[in-house]
Structure 1
Amino acid sequence: MTQFSKEVMHVGEMASGAALTVPVYRLKGQSDAPSVYIQANMHGAEVQGNAVIFQLLELLRNTQIKGDITLVPYANPVGCNHKNGEYTLGRFDPITGVNWNRMYHFDESIIKPFVRDSIGKDDKTIEANFKALMIDSIEQKLDHNIFGLTTGQRIAYQLQRLAHQADLVLDLHTGPISSKHLYCPEYAVESAKYFDIPHTLLIPNAFDGALDEATFCPWWKLEEAFAELGIKFSISSNTLNKESFTVELGSQEQIDLDVALEDAKSILSYLQYKGVIDTSAYQPKKMTRFACYLKDYKAFYSPMGGMVDYLAEFGKPLKAGEPLARILRMDNYHFEEKGDADPLHYVSLDHEVIPILHFASASVNQGTELYKVFTEFFILEE
């Protein structure tokens, strides 16, 4: 029988004094297999991850669990309640304007002193000490910051404290109107093949404030610092197994429980590969998987204002010159056969791309980000 627990974590307070809380579900593993942390809904409109966590809990009821699993839906109680009319905003802290997923913490200056103090110690001791150091650095931020924290930092740091206790971290997101894609650290590319996600973005060892970076960059930097001294310390070994991903589940402002079930099975395929669960029930689907490096993931901005008909199909290579979208400009319409300008303006690119997501609205200003696309992409697996 799986040992299950639920708690409510207090992450802040509203002006009225009402508590901001986050539910935390824990499943206790039966061995020292890798532990997992999964969260969803850091951005307010990105709700599909909550449905995926529900389906994961349902599937895990009847699964032998070897490693501890922690699941956190509704990770940002401010963002998911930030409504404007019929729309959920919740991408940016309305007070500071900062992206909710850019407030996590990593101080690279802790790495080299730690390495110097760890020479001669075995990998498991180094792992335990470094994990304790990262957790302590977060607790220092939470409990001993004399100038205080913003609302977003206080929420992010408490989530990050949970994430640092795990070996594998999955942060569930969605795009505006989007295909499924995966943000994957370059060293973990083999693991990308175990998710049922056809598009993988390979990201470098650079911290920009996101949760996946905040949890894999410290370990990656640690490995590099040991390597500079000629000492082998591999975070992708079976002994250590440190990986973090941002999992993009599709489009925002909607949930689909049937699709969420498939997404949950995809995650369990990865967890089975990593030895977190003991079952043969979940295997990755056969599909063509494309990848590109983060530097080659480009945004295309609208050359004019207007009403956009998004033409390009997600996930399939779009040849150079084929239309990405067409923009309707009724101010250019003339009843006469010939007018001064065409009311329909087709936009295309001069090189082949794979469209991944596009802006949520058909109404755009000049300079609005229309699409994000893979350029210089390659096949990861067929």
Structure 2
Amino acid sequence: MTTVSSDTLIVGQQATGTDITVPVIRFTGTGNGPSVYIQANIHGAEVQGNAVIHHLVELFNCHPPKGDVCLVPMANPLGINQKSGEFTLGRFDPITGENWNRQYHFDASLIDQLAQSHLNAPEAEVAAALRQAMGVQIDAKLASPFGVKSGQHLALRLQKMALQADIVLDLHTGPISARHLYVPSYAEERAHLFNIPLNIVIPSDFAGALDEASFSPWWQLSDAMAARGRALPVLVDAFTLELGSQEYLNVASARDDALGIARYLQSRGVLDPFELTLPKTTQYACSLDNYRAIYSPCGGQIEYLAPLGEPVSAEHPLARIWHFDALATSLQQSRELRLPVDVIPVLHFASASVRQGTELYKVLTHYYRLSGSDVS
């Protein structure tokens, strides 16, 4: 029988001495399915994932998971409460300037040691050894006599929970954004299950994000074992789901993303089969190398023209840059921003006022239809 519990986790302390806590919801699985960790809102303005977790709680109550599931909505109280007027600024730690989602831990030197010492060990023993070694390192960082940054207090405590899971999903949004998914290349064949239209296929590199901290150790261990003649699957799946735009909450539409997650979890044996009806979606993908930023060639005020999530042919204008300081003069009052290749715009800058060199858009280039897409 599935049991559900709700608790809080201390992730830091305010100057007043008040503990900073996040909510933690746990479903105890009914059988031997994979374990799952899902968090949302590590960036303060990215609230839509909380609504997805709301629907997942309802779904798990009706369809009990076979594996243990840990859900963490509102994972960053510091970022959520970091306001300037009507805007939430919670993407970066205001003390250090560091991205809240770049402070997780992975020490790659563990991998060769473990591959050598556990080359012939059973798979479960290998998995337990890597989790134990990473857990010891995280505990050591938190216990350092020199201390750690506030962002690390938060990230490392969240990571300790995620470390125990076989599946890790980190729910985000972009600035002004279409829905998109960061997909480790070893799991590309499963990406279509989420029913997210745009997909960026990424390598095993670690740059501090939760998805990378979750899959990179297992992926690199699989490669290290292969180099020694042993085939070991990548034992953990991890994805970052970008669920639209920041500062925007739509609880009704969040249900579709919850159903996409449920379909993926069914495929991994976390949920028993039951009927899921998802909207028909055309899905595209490109490699991370082909996911390109476009920077403003000049300062001005931007009229964003290209629709997000839809193919835009070469030479079709993406945006018009206005120079209202040139009104009633002979100077050029506007210019159009075009590219020499076909693209799919994924997201754009949240403001219409930009300086030269501002990242205006991120786009898919050299994109292709995702394998398995249009499956309903």
Aligned residues, how many? 372
- Structure 1 position 202 matched with structure 2 position 196: no
Contact 2:66/2:270 (CA < 8 Å) preserved in 1? Answer: yes
- Structure 1 position 351 matched with structure 2 position 341: yes
The residue that corresponds to 1:66 in the other structure is 66
Q: Which amino acid aligns with 2:314?
A: A
Pick from 297, 300, 304 the counterpart of residue 303 of structure 1: 297
Cα distance in 2 for residues equivalent to 1:33 and 1:273: 11
The residue that corresponds to 1:193 in the other structure is 192
Deviation at 1:130, TM superposition (A): 1.6
Cα distance in 1 for residues equivalent to 2:149 and 2:199: 33
Deviation at 1:284, TM superposition (A): 5.5
Pick from 246, 261, 272 the counterpart of residue 255 of structure 2: 261
Deviations along 1:18-62, one digit per CA (max 9) or x if unpaired, are: 110011000011111111000001001001111111111112111
Q: Which amino acid aligns with 1:122?
A: P
Choose 225-234 or 134-143, whichever is displaced more.
134-143
The residue that corresponds to 1:83 in the other structure is 83
TM-score (norm 2): 0.96
Cα distance in 2 for residues equivalent to 1:283 and 1:192: 17
Q: Which runs of 5+ in 2 are unaligned?
A: none
Pick from 356, 361, 366 the counterpart of residue 356 of structure 2: 366
Deviation at 1:344, TM superposition (A): 2.1
Cα distance in 2 for residues equivalent to 1:284 and 1:116: 45
Contact 2:33/2:270 (CA < 8 Å) preserved in 1? Answer: yes
Deviations along 1:265-324, one digit per CA (max 9) or x if unpaired, are: 111111111110113222665432110111111111111111111100111111110000
Q: Which amino acid aligns with 1:260?
A: A
Q: How does 1:57-206 map to 2 (within 5 A)?
A: 57-143=57-143, 145-206=144-205
1:288 counterpart SS class: coil
Q: Which amino acid aligns with 1:8?
A: T
2:318 counterpart SS class: strand
Deviations along 1:123-177, one digit per CA (max 9) or x if unpaired, are: 121112222222222122222x121100000100000000000000000000000
Q: Which amino acid aligns with 2:344?
A: I
Pick from 305, 314, 326 the counterpart of residue 332 of structure 1: 326
Q: Which amino acid aligns with 1:77?
A: P
TM-score (norm 1): 0.95
Contact 2:35/2:69 (CA < 8 Å) preserved in 1? Answer: yes
Aligned-residue identity in percent: 51
Cα distance in 2 for residues equivalent to 1:164 and 1:136: 11
Q: Which amino acid aligns with 2:333?
A: P
Contact 2:178/2:347 (CA < 8 Å) preserved in 1? Answer: yes
Choose 118-127 or 207-216, whichever is displaced more.
118-127
1:170 counterpart SS class: strand
Q: Which amino acid aligns with 1:252?
A: Q
1:112 counterpart SS class: helix
The residue that corresponds to 1:24 in the other structure is 24
Q: Which amino acid aligns with 1:9?
A: L
